[in-house]
Homo-oligomer: A and B are copies of this chain.
Amino acid sequence: MAEVGGETTPDAFEVVDLKDWPLPMDDEPGVPAAGEYEFEHTRAWSRKIAAAEAFVFVTPQYNWGYPAALKNALDHLYREWAGKPALIVTYGGHGGDRCAEQLRQVCEGLHMTPIIAGPGLRLPRTRIEANTGEIDPAGEFAAHRDDLRQSLGALVAARRGT
């Protein structure tokens, strides 16, 4: 992250899509807090998360909670998350506020410093239920750009400990 003209702007971020990280559920025999992983996919995931200084979780709300894939990715590790700020951005047909609050607790359980971004983004339910793929998330998020920018500023400040 860097300051540009007084504004805080990320200059090194990476999109990590869980689709690209198929971590089998409950596969590791050890306790993640011990940090000893049997499988190479877990070790690779550990290196990826250990290398990051902060996180932005962009997640749907499913049935008033967080999705299994996100919880699975979180639960695979432990120390790699600790001491880092995390911004929680949620969306869904009913918004994402319950998911955000639940995820905040999980982030605290993993010793992150979580910040919830704004109210969860409410997507058009009729189009979700029609399941035609006609929702443009980038377009929906564009309307919330200023809120998200402000939240990102809070994340950067949290990382600096200010």
Contacts and interface: CB of A to CB of B under 8 A. Distances in A.
A26 B133 CA distance: 15
A129 interface: yes
Given A25-B72, A31-B129, A65-B109, 8 more contacts: A25-B69, A26-B67, A26-B68, A62-B75, A63-B74, A64-B106, A65-B71, A65-B106
3 tightest A-B contacts by CB?
A64-B109, A68-B72, A63-B109
Chain A, interface SS category: helix
8 contacts: A31-B129, A63-B75, A64-B109, A65-B66, A65-B71, A68-B68, A102-B102, A102-B105
Nearest to A102: B102
A81 to B, nearest CB: 9
